[in-house]
Amino acid sequence: MSKKNAFYAQSGGVTAVINASACGVIEAVREHHDRIGNVYAGLNGIVGALREELIDVSQESADNITALRHTPSGAFGSCRYKLKSLEENRAEYERLIEVFKAHDIGYFLYNGGGDSADTCLKVSQLSEKMGYPIQAIHIPKTVDNDLPLTDNCPGFGSVAKYIAVSTREASLDVASMCATSTKVFVFEVMGRHAGWIAAASALAQDQQGDAPHIILFPEVAFDKEKFLAKVQQTVEEKGHCVVVASEGTQYADGTFLADSGTTDAFGHKQLGGVAPTLVNMIKQELGLKYHWALADYLQRSARHIASATDVAQAYAVGRAAVEMAVAGKSGVMPIIVRDSGPEYSWSVGEAPLIEVANREKMMPRDYISEDGFGVTQAALDYLLPLIQGEDYPPYKNGVPQYARLKKVLVEKKLKENFGM
């Protein structure tokens, strides 16, 4: 059996642990050096494959490969580049397969979310037809936790932990200031379509009535009167109120809060203005002093407070993808399976990509409390295991030491530059 090389690429918004999956891939390939040759990583994701910009992973030091496990964001570069459908741009897929053929690549390991699962599936299908079969395995990654079939997505546990920790800490701050100053704190978190990240803020609660007092989900239509009444009531009862708002919070008609009111003044439609919209309401209608925070990239890059469970799972799906490749599989994705039993334990399972692509997992309605402002015990039971354990990176000079890759590119073999 001839040894084929493996191509690995990172796709879409990065996470605190996507490099742990890369580490799992690379270490597993090394163990299977009798079956798989080198790992080539796409410089800036799939764009690197289209441009024939392939990072020769064998040029990286062993220390750097080990350090990938504790390095956040996409060390090889990621991209937001969705391949069109086969009908619309078959040439793009054919180019991919041509590049893979030129570099003797037999394994396509694609680390991303829903869109990349779809791409992965198409590469698997088309390569068969083109007579150069490539084993395409998708490795799950998303902070949004919206992939189907897997119990949870690697990347989510760490953002969940960051949000829970930050909510607990900021809540102590407003609680200590509220007698004479700030009464309301609004914390805007990621989540355009699904409220998983906002829900994780509830893990900050230790006792009934603890902050956050209000959580806003994209799944629940925003009702201004009801929201303001709840803020007012909470301030009266507790002296302060902590609100965690999903960036995708929307009115019943589907208008995003971030697209309405004050954010229009920014002159853009990019989400990320729920918190200023909310505090403006609170000031105008209730006259309460407020503070607000917007974590943005901080939340998904916060490797310093990553969940040890998440790191272990991200690493495991990376390894599992290689095992699946070695076992001759294609068009599949390793998934996290929650084992049954009273204590949390997990294992890695397998899902066919045809069932993964183009499906989004929303929060079940029974995870959201009846009034729409909190989560149920079922949600807490689901979320709690995912943030367990700390996995601190090494520090030097007071800051975490993260991998710095050399990113040596493989010599190009194709003339065509594909116009990118």
Active site residues: 144
Phi, psi of 140 (to 5 degrees): -70, 140
Nearest residue to 26 (alpha-carbon basis) of 105, 102, 109, 101: 109
Q: Is 397 in the site for its own copies (CB under 8 A)?
A: yes
Q: Is 345 in the site for its own copies (CB under 8 A)?
A: no
Give how far Cα 269 sits from Cα of 141, 191, 232, 261, 274, Å. 26, 16, 30, 11, 12
Rounded to an integer, what distance in angstroms lies between the CA atom of residue 29 and that of residue 23?
10
Alpha helical stretches, state H, 146-291? 156-177, 196-200, 224-238, 274-281
Contacts of 362 (CB under 8 A, 6+ apart): 146, 193, 194, 219
- Total site size for its own copies, rule CB under 8 A: 83
Give, rounded to a whole angstrom, the gap between the first and last alpha carbons of the chain: 35
Site residues for its own copies, 149-178, by CB under 8 A, read 161, 164-166, 168-170, 172-177
Contact string (CB under 8 A) for its own copies, positions 179-208, x = contact: xxx---x-x---------------xx-x--
Rounded to an integer, what distance in angstroms lies between the CA atom of residue 348 and that of residue 318?
10
Q: Is 237 in the site for its own copies (CB under 8 A)?
A: no
Q: Is 272 in the site for its own copies (CB under 8 A)?
A: yes
Q: Is 279 in the site for its own copies (CB under 8 A)?
A: yes
Closest approach of Cβ 136 to its own copies, in Å? Answer: 21
Question: Which is closer to its own copies, CB of 99 or CB of 332?
Answer: 99
Return the DSSP state at 321.
H
Closest approach of Cβ 198 to its own copies, in Å? Answer: 16
- Pick the binder of its own copies from 113, 114, 218, 273 (CB under 8 A): 273
Site residues for its own copies, 30-89, by CB under 8 A, read 43-45, 47, 71-81
Site residues for its own copies, 90-129, by CB under 8 A, read none
- Pick the binder of its own copies from 90, 226, 404, 413 (CB under 8 A): 404
User: Tokens 């798989």, residue?
Assistant: 36
Q: Which stretch binds its own copies (CB under 8 A): 31-39, 94-102, 247-255, 262-270?
A: 262-270
Known binding-site residue numbers for substrate = 142-144, 190-192, 247, 297-300
